[in-house]
Structure 1
Amino acid sequence: MKRNSHDRAYMTPNEVAELLMVSPVTVRQWAQKGWVRAITTAGGHRRFLRQDVEQFARDRGMELISDGPPRVLVVDDNRSFARYLADLLANQSTSIDTETAHDGFDAGRKVLQFSPDIVLLDLKMPGMDGFSVCQQLKDDEITRHIRIIAMTGYYTPDNEARILTAGAEACLAKPFDKRVLLRVLGFEGGEERDGLSLDKGLDQHVM
């Protein structure tokens, strides 16, 4: 799994400047004026939450420089299935960074740490379920831009309608075809680098 400086939750002024294609001095001036939120460390250094920087850029129509492959967070309490999906996506010919979480609270923590572009979210989990996770992400202006694709082994039309109303783009019924998953995620056309296949291995991972 490849990681770079932009994958961290907090960014330095230089990293923000690189992302927005401006000078670090400009970034510091924006922070002083309160245009973009920043925190100050115990050592007196400014740090910027990545989501705040991205929202600042979107509000002003600024272009973000490409900063690496898309990031997908797989959230499922079935650890083997979550790892299997993450490995399958990471092994597509189109580079995809992946991370896993195994309950709703873990998902919230990983969203801040990993800054995913997409959350592949199981609906039925102990504690905070997928419906609650989706609602919280979409209610927060910092995370509402994240694409959410729901998945469930307990599909019903009511569950689908409920999660779509909460803000998910789609709801996949397990087991699902790999090609359907890649098409919904927007990665259609990729090939596995090491032979992993969702179609062949799904049954031994889905509960």
Structure 2
Amino acid sequence: MPQKNKRSKVFSALEVANICGVVNQTAINWIKAGHLKAYKTPGGQFRVTPENLAEFMEKRGSEIPESLKTILREKQIPNEKTLLIVDDDKVLNTLIKKYIEKNFENIKLYQAYDGFEAGTIMTKVKPGFVILDLDLPGVDGFSLCKKIKSDLMFGNPYIVVVTALKEPNLSQKVLDLGSNYFLTKPLSMEQIGAIVNQWINMKTNI
């Protein structure tokens, strides 16, 4: 790869072809047909961003190479001072928000009340910490947790799952989905505070 700075890396049509195992003209045809998003340089050459290439490969069912995954991870660094609370219980959602505001400085807080709203905020903000209820309208917390942890665009945020659901092996299920912590309702604000503090210290010591 000609560029050393992976954060600004874009791919030529030839590089796309090499990654996908096709000839250069095939990659150009994909671009011209609108299947693969690209832009043109002032010199008329096609350029493809890592995000657009990964999206294209996922749609085709192609395996994304580790080199591309690494570039995406480095580009999608979550905002470590941003926390998203996802819970359709607006009273509890606001209580958590007020508690964190009172006890922690310099953390920007966002609130979502359903899975769709959470997904929109995740895409725009890329919070470093997510408090996630499982029983949500729209996209449920199980699906959302799996999506956040498996999709490179979100940057692998710290996730604390909270729920009032009672199911066998539920804690292990959500941990297997990628959650970092599992809490049952009713919640202890002090416990949430301890986890947030642990997360802050962990990031400070890296």
Flag whether TM exceeds 0.5 (same fold): yes
Which structure 2 residues correspond to residues 54-69 of structure 1 after superposition, within 5 A?
56=71
Aligned equivalents of 1:68, 1:169: Cα separation in 2 = 17
Aligned equivalents of 1:80, 1:175: Cα separation in 2 = 13
1:78 corresponds to 2:58: no
Aligned equivalents of 1:129, 1:27: Cα separation in 2 = 33
What is the CA distance between 1:68 and its match in structure 2? Answer: 8.0
Residue number in structure 2 paired with 1:3: none
What is the CA distance between 1:73 and its match in structure 2? Answer: 0.4
Residue number in structure 1 paired with 2:107: 96
Superposed CA offset, 1:115-150 (max 9, x none) = 100110001112321001001112212225111110
Greater relative contact order (Cα 8 A, min sep 6): structure 1 or 2? 1
What is the CA distance between 1:93 and its match in structure 2? Answer: 3.9
Aligned equivalents of 1:181, 1:116: Cα separation in 2 = 17
Contact 1:69–1:95 under 8 Å retained in 2: no
Aligned equivalents of 1:134, 1:57: Cα separation in 2 = 19
What is the identity percentage for the equivalent residue pairs of Structure 1 and Structure 2? 23
> CA 1:107–1:168 in structure 2 vs 1: closer, same or farther (change >3 Å)?
same
Residue number in structure 1 paired with 2:161: 150
Which structure 2 residues correspond to residues 117-132 of structure 1 after superposition, within 5 A?
117-132=128-143
Aligned equivalents of 2:92, 2:104: Cα separation in 1 = 21
Aligned equivalents of 1:183, 1:137: Cα separation in 2 = 23
Q: TM-score, normalised by structure 1?
A: 0.58
Listed as ranges, the gaps of 5+ residues in structure 2 are 16-36, 40-48, 55-69, 201-206
Aligned equivalents of 1:76, 1:130: Cα separation in 2 = 9
Residue number in structure 2 paired with 1:171: 182
Give 2:116's aligned amino acid.
F
Secondary structure in structure 1 of the residue aligned to 2:169: helix
What is the CA distance between 1:105 and its match in structure 2? Answer: 1.0
Secondary structure in structure 1 of the residue aligned to 2:127: coil
Aligned equivalents of 1:27, 1:166: Cα separation in 2 = 28
Aligned equivalents of 1:57, 1:113: Cα separation in 2 = 16
Give 2:82's aligned amino acid.
R
- The runs of at least 4 consecutive aligned structure 1 residues that moved more than 6 Å come to none
Contact 1:39–1:48 under 8 Å retained in 2: no
Secondary structure in structure 1 of the residue aligned to 2:152: coil
The structure with the greater share of residues assigned to helix is 2
Say which one has the larger Rg. 2
What is the CA distance between 1:153 and its match in structure 2? Answer: 1.6
Cα-Cα RMSD? 3.7
What is the CA distance between 1:164 and its match in structure 2? Answer: 0.8
